[in-house]
């Protein structure tokens, strides 16, 4: 599922870094990096035995396979973070020993960060004071400390990336493979070249604000790469009866070859989008609003949207937008840069063969 994630407030980074430091210290002192414990199930591995038959990841229903992958991916990312930081501490120790200086001196030489200014603290407070809900004088020092630790964490990440690029650091971790969804797309509206090598499938709700952002990004992608990318829309109304009705109305617009026009108008709509909005959108697009509304309540429209919802639920989707690129779920936090980057990478792979 590709839900938009909220970034962790910088205020909490100090707590995170403290916990991470404890984990690193434990790893360094125990020196037990068991390869077996770091491996994720791979294709062909037996997961369980039922009635004498062994089942592998490929035999799981997609919803189960996706849930398992999501958990394994979280573990993989957490282990990567812990080991990268542990390796960095060992790197500092080795250099300090070789030069007969303190580890702190090595750290200061390799990681130079500017101290957080009072102005930066004030700017952060002003931008987040509704969430903080405490007087500035009470929280000022905590904010400054958290921002400083965040700055340090970013600098350490840059150093880790540099060590990797130079071939000095590699992690012995096995990244889990995402399951490929078998999506049933016959009869759904498509934008872009029908035979394009890269398929984007979006499950979306017309009243979902993150879906609106995704829609704008996907439109830009299609405009730039219509020969390489095709975009299939599957309505997945999750915010109530109004969203279901809007999906049914869009289906009816599609019966008159106006689905995408309705789609864009709904996501560009200014103000509160509701059932009464349908007639105005239809009129603006040169359609008979009364006929669209009559069709939207028909058994045909109801059944089609129910089919869309059933497919989404069978896939285990819990929110919108849920985006698949060539059958693989997009998990990026950023519905602009990260989504476009993921699509561009898929296009590059298709061209490379």
pLDDT by residue for the chain (353 residues), tens only, comes to 444 434 444 444 343 333 334 333 333 333 333 333 334 556 668 899 999 999 988 888 999 998 999 899 999 999 999 999 999 999 999 999 999 999 999 999 999 899 999 999 999 999 998 888 889 999 999 999 999 999 999 999 999 999 999 999 999 999 998 899 999 998 899 999 888 999 999 999 999 999 999 999 999 999 999 899 999 999 999 999 999 999 999 999 999 999 999 999 999 998 898 999 999 999 999 988 888 999 999 999 999 999 999 999 999 998 999 999 999 999 877 888 899 999 999 999 988 87
Residue 229, φ and ψ in degrees, nearest 5: -130, 135
> Count of alpha carbons within 13 Å of 322, Cβ hemisphere only?
24
What pLDDT, on the 0 to 100 scale, is given for residue 325?
Answer: 96
Give the pairing of strands 322-325 and 198-204. Answer: antiparallel
Kindly state the tokens that stand for 347.
Answer: 């296009």
Q: Computed over its alpha carbons, how large is the radius of gyration of the chain?
A: 25
In 244-265, which positions are buried (b, 16+ CB within 10 angstroms) versus exposed (e)?
A: bbbbbbbbbbbebebbbbbbeb
pLDDT value of residue 18: 38
Question: Where are the alpha helices (H) located in 31-61, listed in sequence order?
Answer: 35-38
The pLDDT score that the predictor gives to residue 45 is 81
| Top CATH class, 190-352 | alpha beta
Q: Is 177 exposed, middle or buried (0-12, 13-18, 19+ CB in 10 A)?
A: middle
Per-residue model confidence (pLDDT) at position 2? 41
CA distances from 225 to 231, 330, 344 (A): 11, 18, 9
Provide the 8-state DSSP code for 217.
H
247: helix, strand or coil: helix
Q: What is the pLDDT of residue 37?
A: 37
Give residue 11's pLDDT: 43
Full-model pTM: 0.71
Q: Where are the domains of the chain?
A: 10-165, 190-352
């Amino acid at each position: 599922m590709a839900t938009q994630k909220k970034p962790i407030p910088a205020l909490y980074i100090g707590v995170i870094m403290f916990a991470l430091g404890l984990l690193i210290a434990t790893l360094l002192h125990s020196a037990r990096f068991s390869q077996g414990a770091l491996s994720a199930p791979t294709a062909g591995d037996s997961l369980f035995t039922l009635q004498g038959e062994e089942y592998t990841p490929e035999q799981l229903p997609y919803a189960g396979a996706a849930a398992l992958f999501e958990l394994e991916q979280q573990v993989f990312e957490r282990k990567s973070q812990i080991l990268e930081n542990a390796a960095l501490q060992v790197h500092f120790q080795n250099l300090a020993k070789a030069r007969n200086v303190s580890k702190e001196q090595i750290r200061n030489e390799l990681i130079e960060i500017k101290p957080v200014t009072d102005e930066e603290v004030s700017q952060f407070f002003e931008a987040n004071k509704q969430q903080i809900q405490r007087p500035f004088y009470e929280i000022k020092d905590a904010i400054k400390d958290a921002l400083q630790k965040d700055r340090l964490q970013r600098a350490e990440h840059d150093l880790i990336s540099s060590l990797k690029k130079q071939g000095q650091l590699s992690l012995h971790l096995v990244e889990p493979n995402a399951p490929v969804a078998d999506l049933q797309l016959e009869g759904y509206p498509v934008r872009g070249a029908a035979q394009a090598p890269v398929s984007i499938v979006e499950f979306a709700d017309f009243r979902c604000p993150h879906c609106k952002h995704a829609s704008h990004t996907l439109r830009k992608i299609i405009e730039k790469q219509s020969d390489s990318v095709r975009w299939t829309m599957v309505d997945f109304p999750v915010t109530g009866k109004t969203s279901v009705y809007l999906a049914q109305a869009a289906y009816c617009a599609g019966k008159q070859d106006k689905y995408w026009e309705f789609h864009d108008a709904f996501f560009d709509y200014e103000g509160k989008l509701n059932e009464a909005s349908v007639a105005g959108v239809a009129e603006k697009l040169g359609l008979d609003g009364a006929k669209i509304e009559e069709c939207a309540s028909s058994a045909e429209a109801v059944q089609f949207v129910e089919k869309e919802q059933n497919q989404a639920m069978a896939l285990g989707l819990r929110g919108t937008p849920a985006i698949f690129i060539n059958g693989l779920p997009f998990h990026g936090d950023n519905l602009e840069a990260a989504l476009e980057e993921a699509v561009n990478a898929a296009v590059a792979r298709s061209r490379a063969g």
